[in-house]
Amino acid sequence: MSIVDDAARVDPGAAPAAPDGRRWWALLVISFAQFMIVIDATVVNVMLPQLRADLGLTATGMQWVMSSYVLLFGGLLLLGGRLTDILGRRRVFIGGLALFTAGSALAGLAGGEATLLAARAVQGIGGAAIAPATLSILVTTFAEGKERNKAFGIWGTVIGVGASIGTLLGGAVVDIGWRWAFYINIPVGVLLVLGALLLVSGARPTGPRPPADTAGALTATGGMLLVVYAIVSVTTNGWTDPVTLAAAAGGLALLGVFLRIERSTAAPLLPLRLFRQRGVVAGSLGEFLTAGIMLPSFFLLPLYMQTVLGYSPLETGLAYIPTSLALMIVAPVLLQLIGRTGPRALYLIGTVLLGAMLVLMLDTPLRANYWTVLLPVTTLLGAGLVFCLVPTPVVGTSQATGDDAGATSAVLNTATQVGAAFGLAVVATVVQDRVATLVARGVDPIEALNAALHRGFAVLGVWVVLSFAVGLVGFRGLRGASGQAADAPAEARPAAAD
**Which amino acid, one-letter code, is at 30?**
I
Integer distance in angstroms from the first to the last C-alpha of the chain?
14
| CA of residue 21 relative to chain centroid, distance | 29
Other CB atoms within a 10 A radius of the CB of residue 411 amount to 27
Q: What is the pLDDT of residues 137-196, one digit of tens each?
A: 888 888 777 788 788 878 777 777 776 677 777 777 777 788 988 998 999 999 999 999
Q: Which candidate, 286, 326, 329, 300, places its Cα nearest to that of 431? A: 300
Strands (E), 167-279: none
DSSP letter string, 136-185: HHHHHHS-TTHHHHHHHHHHHHHHHHHHHHHHHHHHHHHHH-TTHHHHTH
CA pair distance 152, 150, nearest whole angstrom: 5
Q: What is the pLDDT of residues 196-241, one digit of tens each?
A: 999 887 665 555 555 667 788 889 888 888 988 888 787 777 888 9
- Domains of the chain plus CATH, in order, are 23-205+267-482 (1.20.1250.20)
Q: What is the pLDDT of residues 348-364, one digit of tens each?
A: 999 999 999 999 999 99
pLDDT at 16 > cutoff 50: no
In the 3-class helix/strand/coil scheme, how is 401-464 assigned residue by residue?
Answer: CHHHHHHHHHHHHHHHHHHHHHHHHHHHHHHHHHHHHHHHCCCCHHHHHHHHHHHHHHHHHHHH
Per the model's pLDDT, the better-predicted residue between 13 and 437 turns out to be: 437
Return the pLDDT at 208: 55
CA pair distance 434, 186, nearest whole angstrom: 41
Q: What average pLDDT does this structure show over 285-304? A: 92
pLDDT class of 117 with cuts at 50, 70, 90:
very high
Q: What is the pLDDT of residues 443-474, one digit of tens each?
A: 999 999 999 999 999 999 999 999 999 999 99
Return the pLDDT at 251: 93
**Sign of the four-CA dihedral 299, 300, 304, 307:** positive
Q: Which candidate, 461, 297, 472, places its Cα nearest to that of 391? A: 472
pTM of the model: 0.77
pLDDT class of 59 with cuts at 50, 70, 90:
low
